[in-house]
Amino acid sequence: MSDLLARHRAVMPNWLALYYNEPVEIVSGKGNRVVDANGKSYLDFFAGILTNMIGYDVAEVRDAVERQIATGVVHTSTVYLLRGQVELAEKIARLSGIPDAKVFFTNSGTEANETALLLATYARKTDQVLAMRQSYHGRSFGTVAVTSNRSWKNNSLSPLNVHFLHGADRHLTQFRGMNDEQYIAACVDDLRHVLATAVGGDVAALIAEPIQGVGGFTMAPDGLFRAYREVLDEQGILFISDEVQTGWGRTGSAFFGIQNHGVTPDMMTFAKGLGNGFAVGGVVARGDLMDNLHAVGLATFGGNPVAMAAANATLDYVLDHDLQANAAKTGAIIIEGLREAAPRLPVVGDVRGKGLMFAVELVGPDGSPSPELAATFMEETKKLGLLAGKGGLYGHTIRMAPPLTLTEEEAREGLGIIVTALENL
């Protein structure tokens, strides 16, 4: 392992983050567990950053991919008809609830968000965009512009004119003590003030994550985006919901995260879990927005036959096994268990989440964010046989999102490991 790590550091960029003091090489997986190169087994509570959505070695996905590869056609590009692409687009358009929806497939969430921003700015003929504080939408030039987390921004250069809104920052002094209704009212007042003071002319869109991923699973109270949408509609401003991490039933209470707010957006972007490890991303949008571009377009690798086989099989599995309901059930076991344990654990500043998307903020004795405790927690859970993730504005949040196939027994096992690790801090 030390040899592989040395080789990695010699040829990979030093900003490419690796977890753990002794990084893990995962060599096999089955169900919701993986095994490293040393033979140690882990219960996976991060799922390749929410991407192995239905676990490892899933027969339905494996068989679908093998059938496609057996045809000898692993790539043709979108200049030819792709049956699997059409079939998947039909399913996503129907599930989205967006009127007259059309779908464009990409390879990643970053590329999906770039596409949505292009559609919005073209339709509205303006480069002005609204986004949320603490957000993350990708690592490309355009998506970094709408990302509001300094740890993930290399520069301030931008192809867009961006203004950031409140909505997931209730820890700030001016919002402390507010209930949901008061906080929503304060955020809407701020939105109206931004539109009256900071922008010049028309605004293209608001892009927002229903639950902020890199932000540490911070989230707006249900109903905020409905209230925002009412203001946006007054000026024809479009709404893009970034569902890269919140889609496909993960929140338990809705199939897409934005549905928890009672809102149907103009566009939704998606990626990560849809392919269960295969590279799939895309945008589902109102047909008039999708058809509006005048220039020719295509995707060389987006929606390729192998990825479409995996994605169709994955989405069918999610629906056939009602994994949204399973996320609600198993997620409740963990979130309620963490909240029950939190009062006796002084290192826990906050527990939050929906379904199988939950987080624990770690704080020092004075209540300040503690990235050091987060790093120690990661080492503790690794020793105890559980993989977790980190995030948050200050790097002090443990975020976890197991596969949607997590069993009740595994949920309780994982909860026990998390609590034990917290006790050991």
125-156 per-position pLDDT tens digit: 999 999 999 999 999 999 999 999 999 998 88
353-384 per-position pLDDT tens digit: 999 999 999 999 999 999 999 999 999 999 99
Tokens representing residue 419 in the block: 């609590």
- Spans of all domains in the chain: 2-44+322-423, 63-320
The predicted pLDDT at position 1 comes to: 65
* Percent of the chain scoring above 70 in pLDDT: 100
Cα separation values, 56 from 31, 66, 275, 386, Å: 5, 15, 12, 15
The predicted pLDDT at position 207 comes to: 98
Cα separation values, 91 from 102, 159, 258, Å: 11, 33, 18
Tokens representing residue 198 in the block: 């900071």
Q: Residue 173: is its pLDDT beyond 80?
A: yes
The answer to whether 130 and 198 are in contact (CB under 8 A) is no
Cα distance between residue 351 and residue 329, in whole Å:
17
State mean pLDDT over 160-169. 97
Q: Residue 21: is its pLDDT beyond 90?
A: yes
- For residue 128, what are the β-bridge partners? 161
Query: Thinking of the domain 63-320, which architecture would CATH place it in?
Result: 3-Layer(aba) Sandwich (3.40)
381-418 per-position pLDDT tens digit: 999 999 999 999 999 999 999 999 999 999 999 999 99
Q: Average pLDDT over the chain, rounded to whole?
A: 97
Tokens representing residue 152 in the block: 């993930």
211-242 per-position pLDDT tens digit: 999 999 999 999 999 999 999 999 999 999 99
The predicted pLDDT at position 43 comes to: 98
- In a 3-state reduction of DSSP, which class is residue 29? strand
The answer to whether 286 and 63 are in contact (CB under 8 A) is no
The predicted pLDDT at position 315 comes to: 98
| Residue 69 confidence class, pLDDT cut points 50, 70, 90 | very high
Q: Which fold has domain 2-44+322-423?
A: Aspartate Aminotransferase, domain 1 (3.90.1150)
Tokens representing residue 399 in the block: 């975020």
The predicted pLDDT at position 22 comes to: 96
Tokens representing residue 44 in the block: 């996976």
Identify the CA nearest to 195 among candidates 228, 147, 157.
Answer: 228
The answer to whether 311 and 275 are in contact (CB under 8 A) is yes
One DSSP character per residue, 175-216 reads: GTT--HHHHHHHHHHHHHHHHHHT--S---EEEE-SEETTTT
